[in-house]
Amino acid sequence: MQKGWLEARNNHTYENGHRYYGFKAEFPFPDDNDAQESHEENNALWRQLVGGKLFVAPLPTPLKRNHKVLDFATRSAAWVGEFYDSEHAGARLTAMDPTYMQRTGWRELLHHDLEGEWPFSAKQAFHLIHAQSLGGLLADWEGFYQNAYKHLVPGGWLEVKEHDIRLCSDDGDSGVPDAVRQWQELLEEAAEKFGKRINVAGKQREWMERAGFVEVKEEVFKVPLGEWTEDPKWKRIGGTYSYQLLKSLEVYSMRLFTRTLRWSKEDTDALLARVREQLQQENLHLYSYFHVVTGQKPTSAKRTVH
């Protein structure tokens, strides 16, 4: 049994029926079964959006055995498990996350803080760093991009998949039900107070370019919530998004509302019940934006880890 796994198992607190990593309220979201199931659904949604691919960065397919991949903030480890079952399985994969508790037979699973210096040497530099749905988990996004740049081989790729939880309507605020609008405004306010912004998808390209990446490309998906579109593909995707969000409301909200905004659990439950009811109303045409951003460390760059 790995020492890191034991430390992760024992380093938890419990609030309002959920388990959270750390004793200092480091993360706003739990890492229990509810959170892992929510992240698995999120991962399934991303796979649908990018045509079933594990990544869209322009690396050779399948990856070669000498290719090294880092998945950053694994949580449910759905992406990591799919990678091991994929045509890329011959590549060397490292997963880094302070919270992930399940024991695995994976060779490289590191329990390490997400911020600050990463524990890799120049010989361990990666050809691909993959990060998915980190909104609300990081305080220092520019530090994340600097770390990613530092720990890629020259010519290596960073891929960031990020979405805004904020729901939009083509009718403006009038098209978003009142409890839903109240919930998402309070969620953003609480995340700001917590120190880890939650809706940061629109900033990823700017941060990546500022860190020195080149060939930066961004694809933005307008993802419907529910099955209100005519297109069969987007009807399926919208159904997945609706299921994921309804399953995730408490995961996203409970600590931010009760600890940061100092709401009671009863008041939080009451608001979330209204949000669930409104999100399942017919004739709602809500959507969110999902961003996939890729960038390359210049091939002329020097290895910067010593």
Pull the structure tokens for residue 44: 């399934």
Angle between helices 33-49 and 232-255 (to 10 degrees): 150
* Alpha-carbon gap, residue 184 to 162, rounded angstroms: 17
Chain segment 128-139, per-residue pLDDT in tens: 999 999 999 999
Chain segment 229-264, per-residue pLDDT in tens: 999 999 999 999 999 999 999 999 999 999 999 999
**Residues in a beta bridge with 261:** none
pLDDT score, position 282: 85
What is the distance, to the nearest Å, from the Cα of residue 272 to the centroid of all Cα atoms in its chain? 22
Chain segment 45-54, per-residue pLDDT in tens: 999 999 999 9
> Where residue 84 falls among pLDDT bands split at 50, 70, 90?
confident
pLDDT score, position 10: 66
pLDDT score, position 23: 80
